[in-house]
Amino acid sequence: MIRAAARSRTVRLYAVAVVFLACAVLVGAMAGAAGLSPAATAAALLDRLPFVHLHSGLSPLDHAVLFQIRLPRVVLGALVGGALSLAGAGYQGVFRNPLVDSSLLGSSAGAGLGATLAIVALGSAASSAVPAAAFAGSLAGVAIAYLVGVTGGPGTSTLLLAGLAVSLFLAAVQTYVLQRSSQDIQQVYSWLLGSLSAATWHQTGEILPYLAVAAVVVLLHGRHLDVLAVGDEEGRSLGLHPGRIRLIVVAGCALAAASAVAVSGLIGFVGIVVPHAVRRLAGTSYRVVLPLSLLFGGGSLILADAAARTLVAPAELPIGVVTALVGSPAFVLILRTTRSVRT
């Protein structure tokens, strides 16, 4: 009976997550200078579903704004937010540390350095090269940190310290490069603060395969992370290989984070706040935390991007500023409520 109640609660949480994501998509599709009615926007979106035929009443211009400008941005925001949240939750499971996020192991620092080098080297022609450079830099940062951590000794603490050391080193190199090319500082910092303003369907299609592979890899190891949360010895007694599982999950999380930052820049707090909030709702099982983080993370970033577009309209805030302004007090609140519950 207890198991049935837990299963029913999990199903309800999945339903809430799906509804939250759907509502976020609707809000993101409506946000902008061209005012679109909620009913017409919802009808236009539902009309694209199989076997659904609805007349939205949108003009050709509004229809083009919705499907060629806003919807690619909304979909990209969902993918990026879901990827960052999933990577953060996966890293927290690997390191058994709730303070870890998707920027761990040199991912963000490597992406920042890669994007900086591309901007400095190519100047105004760097727009097409920055995503590839950030993607490669992010994966390279994680690979270096993992190799350093593995050779430094067993245990997750060594790997965590290696990631911190590599991140600081890459950030120092980035600072040196910027100091030598001060004319590119504004363009670099614009990328570092994050934005989805250049979102296109082509860009969404480019990162979707990487995110799909990363999501499948991480989600399939939720049960293994639950076992490792008890301890490595217990995992080995059940026939698991903790080192191999950590390598696979870290690789999946690194691929997810690298794909996200390649198209959006550096967006903080999503990968740490969303998994924390999900854990408060769903418990500690990573079989549930990982997929819920994917759904809630996607919806959360869509709403953050909608706020970035509307708070100072007609100007636009960097989305990283919005996530920091909302995420930091939310994280403090989560920590305080968690402590009060434990005491």
Note the pLDDT of residue 333.
Answer: 79
341: confidence class by pLDDT, cuts 50, 70, 90: very low
Lookup: tokens for 34 = 């061209």
pLDDT per residue over 164-198, tens digit each? 899 999 999 998 888 888 777 888 888 888 888 88
Following DSSP, what letter does each residue of 179-240 receive, concatenated? HH-GGGHHHHHHHHT---TT--HHHHHHHHHHHHHHHHHHHTTHHHHHHHHH-HHHHHHTT-
Name the nearest CA neighbour of 111 among 263, 283, 217, 240: 263
Poorest-pLDDT segment among 105-109, 317-321, 327-331: 327-331
Note the pLDDT of residue 231.
Answer: 77
Give me the mean pLDDT over the 326-339 stretch.
75
Instruction: For the chain, give the longest Cα–Cα distance.
Output: 66
Cβ density class 311-322: b for 16+ within 10 Å, e for less: eeeeeebbbbbb
pLDDT per residue over 10-65, tens digit each? 889 999 999 999 999 999 988 877 677 788 888 888 888 887 777 777 788 888 88
**Cis ω before 314 (30° cut-off from 0):** yes
Burial class (CB in 10 A: 0-12, 13-18, 19+), 17: buried
Q: Which domains are delineated in the chain?
A: 77-342 (1.10.3470.10)
Name the nearest CA neighbour of 290 among 143, 87, 6: 87
Give me the mean pLDDT over the 282-295 stretch.
92
* Residue 324 confidence (pLDDT) above 50: yes
Give me the mean pLDDT over the 69-90 stretch.
93
Residue appearing with tokens 């870890």: 100
Give me the mean pLDDT over the 249-270 stretch.
90
